Chain A
Amino acid sequence: MAGGTLTSTEYIQHHLVNLTYGQLPAGYERDNGEILEASAWTMAHNAQEAADMGFMAIHVDTMFWSIFLGGLFLWLFKKVADGVTTGVPSGAQNFVEMIVDFVDENVKSIFHHKNVWIAPLGLTVFVWIFLQNLMDLVPVDWIPELAKAMGIHYMKVVPTTDVNATAGMALGVFLMILYYSIKAKGFRGFAAELTLQPLPPWFLPFNLFLEVVSLLSKPIALALRLFGNMYAGEMVFILISLLPFYLQWTMSVPWALFHILIITLQAFIFMILTVVYLAMAHDHH
């Protein structure tokens, strides 16, 4: 348990605050009593400040870890791609090919249209989300304590426990759904799909309402499913770390083992649903 002076509530709350850089409005009173004369971009000192920054703020820790892990993924795969051989593959190539083949098989079984972007998209989604989820298996206090030693007071290391990260990806998928719906069916075709079914045309408003809800539910479901699973998992790890240190392993080990399944499954589900939604966007009804 980190920081003996913290209460359990403070400890948990501390773990749930992102390292936030954002704009505080003019006249804002900071936690050290300083009153801002003009609006200013600054690091949030606590959860309240982060919340008060509103929309004009960015989670530095989420961005750092997600870009670092995305870069790690691309670097690793690019390295293999550069040294790729059609002969007998070596260890790293085997590993990469296994993942690529796995994604490719899944995409081929779901997506029957011709689109060269879908399979690489699926691979990126799967591996990137998996790596981001994997950060959950790093003991909860290691990296935050290290950051604290370096003078950084807030550090959430699992980007997928930040709803902004999952929603950002889901938003990307949503934009692709809109783009490919219009590209495949034309604007009129897409509009017709939203209004003329499932009920006959004289139920148009009802149809529109139904179809828009169903359309919007796709990215929201994607974002919240991943976020909810990872947030809950992270929370359980935080709660376990409140136990006396000699008892923690009795809970953290089984939970971590179970969590290996969850993080893989969630990455897989996000990928599969992304492909399914894009396949639906290409389909004519």
Chain B
Amino acid sequence: MNINLTLFAQLISFAIFVWICRKYVWPPIVEAMQARQKEIADGLNAAERAQNDLRLAQDSAADKLREAKQEAAGIIEQANKRASQIVDEAKEQARVEGERIKEAAQAEIDQEYNRAREDLRAKVSKLAVVGAEKILQSSVDQGAHQQMLDKVAAEL
């Protein structure tokens, strides 16, 4: 166990080794490790962000779907309402038209009736004159009895 110059030789080599390690060995390895750590952290962050985005997208898709369903339901309801409205309008129109046709027919019937009555009246007065002539065996003086005959015809 002799203490000698080896002590200082060892001190010097120790110092040189530490210096080389500090200058050339430690920085690149530690930098690479830190860079990898950062990459991994970034990757995890990105994954988390993507998951978040996905959740948001899913939420908004669900929202859109719900909205679309509501809209569709609204449209169907409106359409139903419109359809029944159309039916009602058609019914009303038909009723009005029927009424009109009925009225026209009534008017025609009345007209027809009046005409037939006039006709009948004329014919009856003529028939009455002929019948009276036949009964009286003589011709009635048209001029003298016209007034009376008209009175009879009006009474028919």
Using a CB–CB distance below 8 Å, which chain A residues touch chain B?
18, 20, 22, 50-51, 53-59, 62-63, 66-67, 70, 73-74, 77-78, 80-82, 84-87, 89, 96-97, 100-101, 104, 116-117, 119-121, 123-125, 128, 159, 162-165, 167-169, 171-172
Contacts and interface: CB of A to CB of B under 8 A. Distances in A.
A66 B4 contact: no
Interface residues of B, number: 30
A26 B26 CA distance: 49
Contacts of B5: 22, 55-58
Nearest to A127: B21
Interface of B: 1-11, 13-15, 17-18, 20-22, 24-26, 28-30, 32-33, 35-36, 39
Contact of B10 (A66, A81, A97): A66
Given A164-B2, A168-B13, 6 more contacts: A22-B4, A66-B13, A119-B30, A124-B14, A164-B3, A168-B7
Contacts of A101: 33
Given A100-B26, A121-B22, A85 B6 contact: no
B17 A86 contact: no
Contact of B11 (A58, A85, A125, A169): A169
Nearest to B33: A97
Does more than half of chain A's interface fall in helix, strand or loop, or is it mixed? helix
B13 to A, nearest CB: 5
A168 B11 contact: yes
A172 B11 contact: yes
Contacts of B35: 86
Contacts of A124: 14, 17-18, 21
Does more than half of chain B's interface fall in helix, strand or loop, or is it mixed? helix
Given A80-B29, A85-B32, A120-B21, A63 B13 contact: yes
Nearest to A50: B2
25 contacts: A51-B2, A55-B5, A57-B2, A57-B4, A57-B5, A62-B10, A66-B10, A70-B13, A77-B21, A77-B25, A78-B24, A81-B24, A81-B29, A119-B26, A121-B18, A121-B21, A121-B22, A124-B14, A124-B18, A128-B14, A162-B6, A164-B6, A168-B14, A169-B10, A172-B15
Contacts of A74: 17, 20-21, 24-25
Contacts of B1: 163
Contacts of B24: 74, 78, 81
A120 B10 contact: no
Contacts of B15: 172
Contacts of A169: 10-11, 14
A97 B34 CA distance: 11
B36 A86 contact: yes
Contacts of B17: 70, 73-74, 124, 128
Given A84-B28, A120-B26, A53 B14 contact: no
A63 B17 CA distance: 13
A120 B30 CA distance: 10
Nearest to B15: A172
Nearest to B13: A67
A54 B4 contact: yes
Contact of A100 (B2, B13, B14, B29): B29
B149 to A, nearest CB: 134
A165 B30 contact: no
A59 B3 CA distance: 10
Contacts of A55: 3-5
A274 to B, nearest CB: 10
B14 A63 contact: no
A53 B13 contact: no
A96 B8 CA distance: 29
Nearest to A80: B29
A96 B32 CA distance: 12
A95 B80 CA distance: 77
A101 B37 CA distance: 12
A266 to B, nearest CB: 16
Instruction: Name the residue among A73, A84, A125, A128 with the largest chain B CB count within 10 angstroms.
Output: A84
